[in-house]
Amino acid sequence: MSLPQSSLMLVVSVTTKRDLLLAIRRKSDVLVSLFFFIIVVSLFPLGIGPEPLLLKKIAPGVLMVAALLSTLLGLPRMFAADYADGTLEQLALSPLPFGLLVSGKILAHWLVCGLPLVVLAPVLGLQFGLDGETLMMLMLALLIATPLLSLIGSIGAALTLGVRSGGALLALLILPLYVPTLIFASGAVEVQMVGMNANGYLSLLAAMLALAVFFAPWATSVALKIALE
């Protein structure tokens, strides 16, 4: 089915709107992953010690790893409820393209679990003594990295649907795939910190995002159909 651009977004918005509405109804779910992010980041200075130079050095990595774990925390929710109550079945039988409906759900996951991290990260970055330009870079890197995390994660969420010990398995499947995102996103911030140009890292992240936008929803919808068989 070929669709004009406007209706393509319209299809995506069907599931996005619904999932956002659900997120508003169940605020606690969203807040839990946000506080998880804050707590994990705050644990590092407590574990390592308050030495400013050391903290500044580890800040990009710590913030990225925490963002990655906090995204992971929200992933099982992406499809689990819809799988359990039969809504996913209905989506798979919809005359609208399934891949786009799935994209809508991924978009909603990013808006709920990813975007708040982008906004929150600079505040936590201040705790680690990062300067203004580095904080800007941190936000920019997270802005490209977090949708990538949602996209890659959706594949794992679909594969582990209804599977024994799905949550732990999801982490095992997805975390290795998160490595390039982690390296390039924290690399961009580190390079900025020493005053070098981080454009290369950002371009690589953006290229990966472009790749994932096309392929991840497709892989996820195939995995979902397998789970529904």
Partner 1 sequence: MNLETEKLGFYRYSSPQTFYPLAGKMLPWFWVVATLFGIAGLWVSFFVAPTDATQGEAYRIIFVHVPASWMSMFIYIVMAAWAGIGLALGTRLSGMMAQALAPTGALMAALSLLTGSLWGRPMWGTWWIWDARLSSELILFFLYVGFIALQAAIDDPRRADKAGAILALVGVVNVPIIYFSVIWWNSLHQGSSVSLTRSPSMAQTMFAGMILMALCFWMYSIAVSLMRVRAIIVERERNSEWIRAEVKYAVE
Partner 2 sequence: MLHVKNLSCTRGERLLFSDITIALGAGDCLHVRGINGSGKTSLLRTLVGLSPVETGEIRWRDVNIADSAMNSELIYLGHDAAVNGDLTALENLQFAGAQFGLSLSQPILHDALQRMGLKGRENLPVRALSAGQKRRVLLSRLLTQPANLWVLDEAFNALDIAAGELLTQLIKDHLARGGIALLTSHLPLKMVDILVLDL
Report the interface residues with partner 1, using CB under 8 A.
155, 159-160, 163-166, 169, 172-173, 175-177, 179-180, 183-184, 187, 190-191, 204, 208, 215, 219, 222-223, 226-227, 229
Smallest gap, in angstroms, from Cβ of residue 228 to partner 2? Answer: 6
42 neighbors 131 (Cβ within 8 angstroms)? no
Residues 91-150 that bind partner 2 (CB under 8 A): 91-96, 101
Is residue 227 close enough to count as binding partner 2 by CB under 8 A?
no
User: Of the two residues 122 and 167, which places its CB atom closer to partner 1 in the complex?
Assistant: 167
Instruction: Please list the alpha-helical segments (H only) found in the chain.
Output: 5-25, 27-48, 52-74, 80-85, 87-92, 98-109, 115-127, 132-159, 166-174, 179-193, 199-228
Q: Which residues contact 216 (CB under 8 A, 6 or more apart)?
A: 106, 151, 152, 154, 155
Phi and psi based region of residue 6 (left: phi greater than 0; alpha: psi -120 to 50; beta: remaining): alpha
225 neighbors 102 (Cβ within 8 angstroms)? no
Candidates 18, 136, 180, 222; binder of partner 2 (CB under 8 A) is 18
User: Of the two residues 86 and 200, which places its CB atom closer to partner 1 in the complex?
Assistant: 200
Smallest gap, in angstroms, from Cβ of residue 179 to partner 1? Answer: 5
By residue count, the chain amounts to 229
Is residue 9 close enough to count as binding partner 2 by CB under 8 A?
no
Q: Which residues contact 150 (CB under 8 A, 6 or more apart)?
A: 71, 106, 107, 109, 110, 113, 114
Is residue 86 close enough to count as binding partner 2 by CB under 8 A?
yes
Q: Which does 87 bind (CB under 5 to 8 A by kind): partner 1, partner 2, none?
A: partner 2
Q: Which does 190 bind (CB under 5 to 8 A by kind): partner 2, partner 1, none?
A: partner 1
134 neighbors 125 (Cβ within 8 angstroms)? yes
Q: Which does 21 bind (CB under 5 to 8 A by kind): partner 2, partner 1, none?
A: partner 2
> How distant, in Å, are the alpha carbons of 67, 125, 141, 212 from that of 202?
17, 19, 7, 15
Candidates 39, 48, 51, 85; binder of partner 2 (CB under 8 A) is 85
User: Of the two residues 27 and 164, which places its CB atom closer to partner 1 in the complex?
Assistant: 164
User: Of the two residues 43 and 84, which places its CB atom closer to partner 2 in the complex?
Assistant: 84
Contacting positions for partner 2 (CB under 8 A): 14-15, 17-18, 21-22, 25-26, 81-82, 84-87, 89-96, 101, 228-229
